[in-house]
Amino acid sequence: MKLKVTQTGSIVGRKKPQVLTIKALGLGKIGRSRVHEDTPPIRGMIKKVVHLVSVEEVK
């Protein structure tokens, strides 16, 4: 299964670990989306920035 991660919040004023996590997910601008494999490391990164992203399951 894959996850579509879309950035919904701004990284301006966020702490550096959150900004780096958003960049590692391939995001950086509001509205940008990336599709990732559903793995524990990706789930962990999403959990760190759950307030800045929306997640959908993709088949």
User: Domain containing 42 — which CATH number?
Assistant: 3.30.1390.20
The whole domain housing 38 covers: 2-58
Cα distance between residue 2 and residue 14, in whole Å: 27
Is 18 within 8 Å of 52 (Cβ atoms)? Answer: yes
Largest CA distance in the chain: 35
pLDDT at 46: 98
| Domains of the chain: total | 1
pTM for this structure?
0.91
Instruction: Give the 3-state secondary structure percentages of the chain, helix then strand then coil, rounded to 5.
Output: 30, 30, 40
pLDDT at 43: 97
Question: CA 22, 36, 53: angle at the middle one, nearest 5?
Answer: 40
pLDDT at 59: 84
pLDDT at 53: 98
> How far does Cα 7 stand from its chain's mean position?
6
What's the pLDDT tens digit per position in 1-59? 999 999 999 999 999 999 999 999 999 999 999 999 999 999 999 999 999 999 999 98
